[in-house]
């Protein structure tokens, strides 16, 4: 029974990392669809959202089985309920990647407003936060979780910088407004992906240290 | 033991409804702070976010205790793990109310762009979705959950209508752009609150029927 427990727990970790990799690649491909102005990539990425939904359910089912059959307590119990919360965060990050794909297809249908420099950087930061938050989770690594939480500031700075630049475009030429808002929304989707990674990292600290370090997400524009 | 179990399960339901009421009143007051141009209300509402954080932790602790001490199975087990997921959704809705308060304070510092008609309607719809989704949860009421999911369309329609109207303002007078984007972001925060209510309703259907009806959130602008 005990050996089964650890094998099944390992499966939950593996599946969580697998869903994380899928979501990370969806985010990367969504931004590539925009940067390379290739709407086929966007359509393909949207289709892979079903896989993310299915993996979330697999993780939840594995966790429910662990809870029902092995009645874990203490840290194992909290690890499993945290995995169930994280699976939801991951699935919603996949939804945000889908939203970026939809913005990309709209943007690709219009002349390009400007070269996309900051949005890919923001995406890379968010992807790294996602990867590190899940590593922190499976390894119960609090310092790594804290570094993810600290990284959220950089994402917020980039978001504000992007906002100011887009505002300048819109002020100077009202014909750019619709496209600028499309780019603004992409930056907000990436921000939400980084927020989810931060939420995961906060749950890891809470899991290991039992302390709630959550602060209200309160981004200035 | 069995009587204790049902008492403690009832406490989880009561606390979930209590957190739901708090979040609903935070959303209402955030929009009032904007409509009445009263930044004191916004500041007060931001302060009550701590209560939402504390209640989320109380719910999770109560659920962990139930899982550890009573080892529930089948529907009781899934009800408790769903309550833990819902507590996270509610806390994030409170964060969205805080974001609306921040937009309200920025907007209140400028001349009012236009009378706010559609945003309060959108807020009332989102608040009702929140209330109904939690009633559906504690009563395991699938038809009510489905009505919440159907209601999300109206919120999306309003969001698109608000977007088109704001676009007209921005096109006609670039001096309105910053304020129009503030209002656009408020509509997005309200949309996310409605999305969380939809997520809760989808979890209720899954809880009772064991069927995954989740669709990727894919809002057109």
CA-based torsion, A28, A34, A39, A42: positive or negative:
positive
pLDDT of amino acid A1:
57
- pLDDT tens digits, A2-58: 779 999 999 999 999 999 999 999 999 999 999 999 999 999 999 999 999 999 999
Nearest Cα neighbor of A37 from A106, A132, A99, A84 is A106
pLDDT of amino acid A44:
98
Residue A220 has pLDDT above 50, yes or no: no
Chain A and chain B share a number of CB contacts under 8 A equal to 107
| Minimum Cα–Cα distance from A60: chain B residue | B81
Tell me the mean pLDDT in the region A76-105.
Answer: 97
Task: Quote the tokens at residue A200.
Answer: 């995961």
The pair phi, psi for residue B217, each rounded to 5°, is: -75, 115
Neighbour tally for B18: CB within 10 Å: 15
Residue ranges and CATH numbers for the domains of chain A are 2-209 (1.20.58.220)
Cβ of A181 within 8 Å of Cβ of B184? The answer is: yes
Rg of chain A in Å (alpha carbons): 19
pLDDT of amino acid B210:
82
Confidence of residue B208 (pLDDT cuts 50, 70, 90): very high
What does the buried/exposed string (b/e) look like for B148-184 if buried means 16 or more CB atoms within 10 Å of the residue's CB? bbebbeebbebbeebbeebbebbbeebebbbbbbbbb
Cβ(B207)–Cβ(B78) below 8 Å? yes
pLDDT of amino acid A213:
63
Q: Which of B63, B67, B219 has the highest number of chain A CBs within 10 A, making it the mutation to test binding with A?
A: B67
Considering only CB atoms, which chain B residues are within 8 Å of A103? 221
Tell me the mean pLDDT in the region A205-218.
Answer: 70
Residue B1 has pLDDT above 60, yes or no: no
Cβ of A84 within 8 Å of Cβ of B81? The answer is: yes
Considering only CB atoms, which chain A residues are within 8 Å of B71? 71
Whole-angstrom distance, CA of residue B60 vs CA of residue B53: 11
- pLDDT tens digits, B34-68: 999 999 999 999 999 999 999 999 999 999 999 99
Q: Which of B22, B47, B84, B177 has the highest number of chain A CBs within 10 A, making it the mutation to test binding with A?
A: B177
CA distance A99 to chain B (A): 6
Q: In terms of C-beta distances under 8 Å and separation of at least 24 residues, what long-range contacts does A164-169 make, across chains too?
A: A165/A118, A167/B177, A167/B178, A167/B181, A169/A113, A169/A114
- pLDDT tens digits, B153-163: 999 999 999 99
Whole-angstrom distance, CA of residue B166 vs CA of residue B175: 12
Burial-class residue A45 by CB neighbours within 10 Å (0-12, 13-18, 19+): buried
Residues A141, A147, A151, CA angle at the centre, nearest 5°? 145
Neighbour tally for B99: CB within 10 Å: 23
| Chain centroid to CA B64 | 24
Question: What mean pLDDT is reported for chain A?
Answer: 94
pLDDT of amino acid A212:
67
* pTM of this structure: 0.93
End-to-end CA distance of chain B: 53
Query: Which residue from B68, B102, B217 is facing A95, i.e. has the nearest CB?
Result: B217
Overall size of chain B counted in residues: 221
Considering only CB atoms, which chain B residues are within 8 Å of A177? 167, 170-171, 177
pLDDT of amino acid A140:
97
Cβ(A180)–Cβ(A170) below 8 Å? yes
Cβ of B77 within 8 Å of Cβ of A95? The answer is: no
Confidence of residue B217 (pLDDT cuts 50, 70, 90): very low
Nearest Cα neighbor of A164 from B18, B41, B177, B17 is B177
Cβ(A122)–Cβ(A152) below 8 Å? no
pLDDT of amino acid A47:
97
CA distance B154 to chain A (A): 19
Overall size of chain A counted in residues: 221
| Chain centroid to CA A92 | 7
Cβ of B167 within 8 Å of Cβ of A177? The answer is: yes
Query: Which residue from B95, B177, B188 is facing A217, i.e. has the nearest CB?
Result: B95
Task: Quote the tokens at residue A29.
Answer: 């491909």
pLDDT of amino acid B218:
44
End-to-end CA distance of chain A: 53
Quick one: DSSP state of residue B37?
T
Considering only CB atoms, which chain A residues are within 8 Å of B51? none
């Amino acid at each position: 029974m005990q050996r089964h427990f650890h094998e099944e727990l390992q499966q939950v970790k593996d599946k969580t990392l697998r869903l994380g990799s899928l979501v990370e690649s969806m985010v990367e491909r969504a931004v590539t669809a925009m940067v390379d102005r290739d709407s086929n990539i966007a359509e393909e990425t949207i289709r892979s959202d079903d896989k993310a939904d299915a993996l979330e359910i697999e993780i939840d089912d594995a966790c429910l089985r662990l809870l029902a059959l092995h009645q874990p307590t203490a840290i194992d119990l909290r690890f499993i309920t945290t995995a169930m919360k994280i699976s939801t965060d991951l699935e919603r990050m996949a939804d945000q990647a889908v939203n970026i794909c939809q913005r990309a297809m709209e943007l690709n249908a219009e002349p390009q407003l400007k070269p996309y420099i900051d949005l890919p950087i923001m995406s890379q930061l968010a992807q790294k936060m996602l990867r590190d938050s899940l590593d922190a989770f499976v390894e119960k690594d609090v310092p790594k979780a804290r570094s993810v939480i600290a990284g959220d500031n950089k994402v917020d700075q980039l978001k504000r910088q992007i906002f100011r630049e887009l505002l300048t475009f819109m002020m100077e030429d009202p014909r750019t407004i619709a496209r600028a808002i499309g780019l603004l929304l992409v930056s907000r989707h990436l921000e939400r992906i980084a927020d989810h990674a931060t939420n995961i990292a906060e749950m890891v600290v809470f899991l290991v240290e039992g302390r709630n370090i959550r602060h209200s997400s309160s981004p200035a524009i």
